[in-house]
Amino acid sequence: MSTEKPHYHGHRERLRQRLLERGAGSLADYEVLEFLLFGAKARGDTKPLAKKLIDEFGSLAAVFGASVQELQQVSGVGDSTTALIKLIPEAARRMSKEAILEHPIINSWDKLLDYCKIAMAQEKIEQFRLLFLDRKNRLIADEVQQTGTADHAPVYPREVVKRALELNASAIIMVHNHPSGDPTPSQADIAMTLEIQGVCGKLGIELHDHLIISKTGHRSFRNLGHL
């Protein structure tokens, strides 16, 4: 009986050593995915599947943003692979959230943007997220209040204010994503933001900003002069 190891064993070891010696930055996108797939496929060559996934979805980020159904339409992707792929962005989201919990959000704006991009940029439907802050601008709660369609998520000013009062929040930051990739606010976005700002202002709740997140960038209503 042959004792020769399959060719991928040597490849895995070389990839592992490169990671340890030169850091993860030395890996190409498909190699990052290939390495992660080791955890779902103890045997076999994972390079072809890693390349197939990136070709199918267009980028490493898009692979992580794909739905369970989309992933399992790709030949060779089963439950174990799907579960592993969906776990990675959740781990990144939690790590990023911990970073914004350490300091007042106003003083950690770049970290907040990183968190919002991880949490929302790859979503294929609009989400309306609320970040509730205390008097020291520390995060009390982070909640997705509404989800909608590919180009609309319903927003109810009464519900925004009601939840802020329930949490005894002193300020809020509104965030929603544009799955189209264009973060430019619509007139409806601007009108809704000003309405919520007006209602919150009467109750002593400050609207710090409204952020629009997309795959290509972000927009801040305050920086745009809408607040």
pTM of this structure: 0.75
Take residue 101 and report the two structure tokens written for it: 């919990």
Cα angle 30, 32, 34; round to 5: 65
The answer to whether residues 105 and 210 touch, using CB atoms and an 8 Å cutoff, is no
Alpha carbon distances (Å) from 165 to 63, 70, 158, 215: 39, 39, 11, 32
End-to-end C-alpha distance for the chain, whole angstroms:
74
Average pLDDT, the chain: 87
Closest CA to 63 of 30, 91, 40: 30
In this prediction, residues 170-194 reach a mean pLDDT of 93
Is pLDDT above 60 for 75? yes
All structural domains of the chain, each given as residue ranges with its CATH number in brackets, are 7-91 (1.10.150.20), 102-224 (3.40.140.10)
Q: Please check the confidence at residue 186 and state whether its pLDDT lies above 60.
A: yes
What is the pLDDT at residue 55?
95
- Answer yes or no: is pLDDT of 164 > 90: yes
Segment 123-160, tens digit of pLDDT: 888 889 999 999 999 999 999 988 766 666 778 888 89
- The tens digit of pLDDT for each residue in 87-128 reads 988 898 888 888 887 778 888 889 999 999 988 888 888 889
Report the run of H or E that residue 142 belongs to, with start and end: strand 139-147
Dihedral sign computed on CA atoms, order 119, 122, 124, 128:
positive
The pLDDT value recorded for residue 9 is 56
Percent of the chain exceeding pLDDT 90 equals 51
The candidate with the shortest Cα–Cα distance to 131, out of 104, 153, 151, is 104
Average pLDDT over residues 171-189: 93
pLDDT interval class at 197 (50, 70, 90): very high
State residue 79's pLDDT score: 92
User: Where residue 221 falls among pLDDT bands split at 50, 70, 90?
Assistant: very high
Q: What is the reported pLDDT for 1?
A: 44
